[in-house]
Amino acid sequence: MPDTKQIFIHQQKHFMKKFILPALSLIAAIILLSITGCKPKNASNAAEGDAASRVYVPPGKYDELYNFVSGGFSGQVTVYGIPSGRLLRVIPVFSLDPQDGWGYSEETKPMLNTSHGMVPWDDQHHLELSQTNGEIDGRWLFANGNNTPRIARLDLKTFRTAEILEIPNSAGNHSSPFITENTEYVVAGTRFSVPMDDKNGDVPIDTYKKNFKGTVSFISVDPKSGNMKLAFQLLLPGVDFDLSHGGKGPSHDWFFFSCYNSEQAHTLLEVNASQRDKDFIMAVNWKKAEEYYKQGKGRKQTVRYAHNVYDESTHSATSTIETQTTVLDVKDFPDMVYFIPCPKSPHGCDVDPTGEYIVGSGKLAALIPVFSFSKIIAAIASKNFDGDYDGIPVIKYEAALYGEVKKPGLGPLHTEFDGKGNAYTTMFISSEIVKWSLKDLKVLDRHPSYYSPGHLMIPGGDTRKPYGKYLISYNKITKDRYLPTGPELAQATQLFDISGDKMKLLSDYPSIGEPHYGQAVPAELIAKNSVKIYKIEDNKNPYVTMGEGKSKVVRTGNRVDVYMTMIRSHFSPDNIEGVKVGDDVYFHLTNLEQDWDVPHGFAVRNANTAELLVMPGETQTLKWTPDVSGMYPFYCTDFCSALHQEMQGYIRVSPKGSNVPISFSLGKNSDAPGEAALDDSIKTK
């Protein structure tokens, strides 16, 4: 058997012959640079001047901003304070959370349901805060799941995932969850083109050009409740959609997507999808598409996708499988979608606060093209096209171009704006942030970033009204930045001050998962709405226990429902007997506290799931099937009072077929072992 190295060398020779040398050497250089990173000088001593005092938030003081950061392959969202960098919260989104039982409790399990069953993980790249008139309104945070295409909506009153919608006809939901200016729609563009869900996907891969299609989906958002609904999908040529941003102001009706692999390659994309000099920015007139959709146009397609909603009154989620989508084939609607050539495998696709400039960042380009919305509209009006791509008109590059930022650095990825006429772009290969002027496209400043920044984020930097002041760079490689922690090193977050002409590095700290994008917002916009407790009288959970006196244990066949309450510092009941091996025991825990920051936890010995952490006024359910008879203590896991350690109890599990009756009690000590002790307030049915 030839070894793989041999094969590799052989392949290398083959490619040498096949592909033009300049392209190859460029790619080789990029691979080399991207592997080693490009270490800027003076990396170890780079913080400037009064940096320490700028990020110092004294004990007892709040941070100025919330920063919501995507967790990448952790599937979570993390929340940090800016400028301190203090970690405030980790929110499970496309993930299980053993800390609070998210995804383990009966109430939350449906949140992770998909048309393929429970998928408790995803790759979470982008976040977008809801907007009104192009400004952050502090209501919701949208998050994409890449792998099993999904979009989540987080409620910023509770910092919880409120809704997850699966996206059909998609594979790799990457250019998502970007939104329109009034959160009319959240978009989801597929990264991988694939055969549509209702077509036979069992086809040879080399029939890519014939059978593989791209889609972008528009998900409408209810302006009151925030509830998402798959509105319409656009059927597109089989390329890879990467990133997107909605228009603003004059470009309000438009959405812009970057795409690569216009070569339509299906193998070795690093070479085969880097052949053409230009790929595309796709401009979508979503208002037009909406119009067609509302007229009933498009093909109704039968598909399957899950729609999961968490109800704050029942403290439970439901999952519904939806079966219909409307697909508009863009070939049938010629005035809806246009392609604009964009140099060399564009990644970021960013719209400036005025809505006039669209910045495409070609990863392999040595310049940054900036397109003009008014020129795009003029070019469409005068049909200034360069033919078409798979039936979609291609606007002439020069006709759409406002200008090019020359020699910005190597590997431009993402751009954000400070609202003062400046743009900031990350340079992955040359490891730097480059500030340039939208007016004359001149580079104004550059600052090293350690190392290989992906996205950057300016608070409000993709809205009509950037807050400015800070910039955060999310870096991929942290070799030598922190104490070694084995083979895996944390990704880095670097905070810059951008209030002056020159960027100043303030701080540098590790982050959780792999942060891609983030969204930050002045703290008061969120803090003032934060829920402190759930009112117990509003608790509509079917298994709620409204007061200690109502706690009980009920057997129905081999199912046992334990209606249990928690209050400092005991459970009611705390002695239970009559449970048998093989019973399905449901502990329905209601936290009776009505005080901020007093959750109680629940854990029972040997339960093969997570603990529960129940918020004040809330009910959560843990299912347990004891497999061995014996004595099973349970206890509170959250240090809730001086007598927290006393917050505990026992469940006796008898063998299958035993005739120990169900009994339960609280506060009655008995000297007679094995005798069920009942107090006056709680009686067996």
Residues near ligand K7E (CB under 6 A) are 125-126, 174, 243, 347, 413-414, 454-455, 516-517
- Rounded CA-CA distance 606/618 in Å is 24
Choose the contact partner of 644 out of ligand K7E, ligand CUA, none; CB within 5 to 8 A by kind. ligand CUA
Choose the contact partner of 638 out of ligand CUA, ligand K7E, none; CB within 5 to 8 A by kind. ligand CUA
Choose the contact partner of 349 out of ligand CUA, ligand K7E, none; CB within 5 to 8 A by kind. none
Burial of 306 (0-12, 13-18, 19+ CB in 10 A): buried
Which of residues 139 and 600 has its CB atom nearest to ligand CUA in the complex?
Answer: 600
Place of tokens 């219909």: 324
- Quick check: helix, strand or coil at residue 203? coil
How many of the other CB atoms lie within 10 Å of CB of 51? Answer: 19
Which of residues 70 and 251 has its CB atom nearest to ligand K7E in the complex?
Answer: 70
CB of 636 to ligand CUA, least distance (A): 3
Which of residues 413 and 553 has its CB atom nearest to ligand K7E in the complex?
Answer: 413
CB of 425 to ligand K7E, least distance (A): 12
Closest-CB residue for ligand K7E? 454
CB of 682 to ligand CUA, least distance (A): 19
Choose the contact partner of 647 out of ligand K7E, ligand CUA, none; CB within 5 to 8 A by kind. ligand CUA
- Rounded CA-CA distance 410/428 in Å is 7
Q: Which residues contact 606 (CB under 8 A, 6 or more apart)?
A: 626, 628, 632
CB of 146 to ligand K7E, least distance (A): 7
CB of 655 to ligand K7E, least distance (A): 54
Which of residues 453 and 573 has its CB atom nearest to ligand K7E in the complex?
Answer: 453
Choose the contact partner of 365 out of ligand K7E, ligand CUA, none; CB within 5 to 8 A by kind. none
- CA nearest 419: which of 353, 360, 351? 353
**Rounded to the nearest 5°, which phi and psi values hold at 534?**
-100, 130
Using DSSP bridges, classify how beta strands 76-82 and 65-70 pair: parallel, antiparallel or unpaired: antiparallel
User: How far is the CA of 91 from the CAs of 3, 68, 156, 166, 527, in angstroms?
Assistant: 45, 10, 11, 19, 16
Which of residues 475 and 621 has its CB atom nearest to ligand K7E in the complex?
Answer: 475
- Quick check: helix, strand or coil at residue 418? coil
Q: What share of the chain is helix, strand, coil (3-state, %, to 5)?
A: 15, 45, 45
Which of residues 74 and 545 has its CB atom nearest to ligand CUA in the complex?
Answer: 545
- Rounded CA-CA distance 442/493 in Å is 27
Place of tokens 């077929």: 657
| Chain length of the chain | 685
Which of residues 357 and 571 has its CB atom nearest to ligand CUA in the complex?
Answer: 571
- Rounded CA-CA distance 140/159 in Å is 9
CB of 159 to ligand CUA, least distance (A): 21
Choose the contact partner of 51 out of ligand CUA, ligand K7E, none; CB within 5 to 8 A by kind. none
Choose the contact partner of 454 out of ligand K7E, ligand CUA, none; CB within 5 to 8 A by kind. ligand K7E
Choose the contact partner of 600 out of ligand CUA, ligand K7E, none; CB within 5 to 8 A by kind. ligand CUA
Choose the contact partner of 517 out of ligand K7E, ligand CUA, none; CB within 5 to 8 A by kind. ligand K7E
CB of 595 to ligand CUA, least distance (A): 12
CB of 243 to ligand K7E, least distance (A): 6
CB of 84 to ligand K7E, least distance (A): 24
Choose the contact partner of 640 out of ligand CUA, ligand K7E, none; CB within 5 to 8 A by kind. ligand CUA
CB of 647 to ligand CUA, least distance (A): 4
Choose the contact partner of 306 out of ligand CUA, ligand K7E, none; CB within 5 to 8 A by kind. none
Which of residues 126 and 150 has its CB atom nearest to ligand K7E in the complex?
Answer: 126
Cis-peptide, bond into residue 467, ω within 30° of zero: no
CB 428 within 8 A of CB 363: yes
Which of residues 430 and 575 has its CB atom nearest to ligand CUA in the complex?
Answer: 575
Which of residues 91 and 647 has its CB atom nearest to ligand CUA in the complex?
Answer: 647
User: What would the 3-class secondary structure string for 562-596 be?
Assistant: EEEEEECCEEECCEEEEEECCCEEEEEEEECCCCC
Q: Which residues of 62-93 are buried (b: 16+ CB within 10 A; e: fewer)?
A: ebbbbbbbbbbbbbbbbbbbbbbbeeeebbbb
Helices (H) and strands (E) in the chain, counts: 9, 45
Residue ranges in contact with ligand CUA by CB under 6 A? 569, 600, 636, 638-640, 644, 647
CB of 570 to ligand CUA, least distance (A): 8
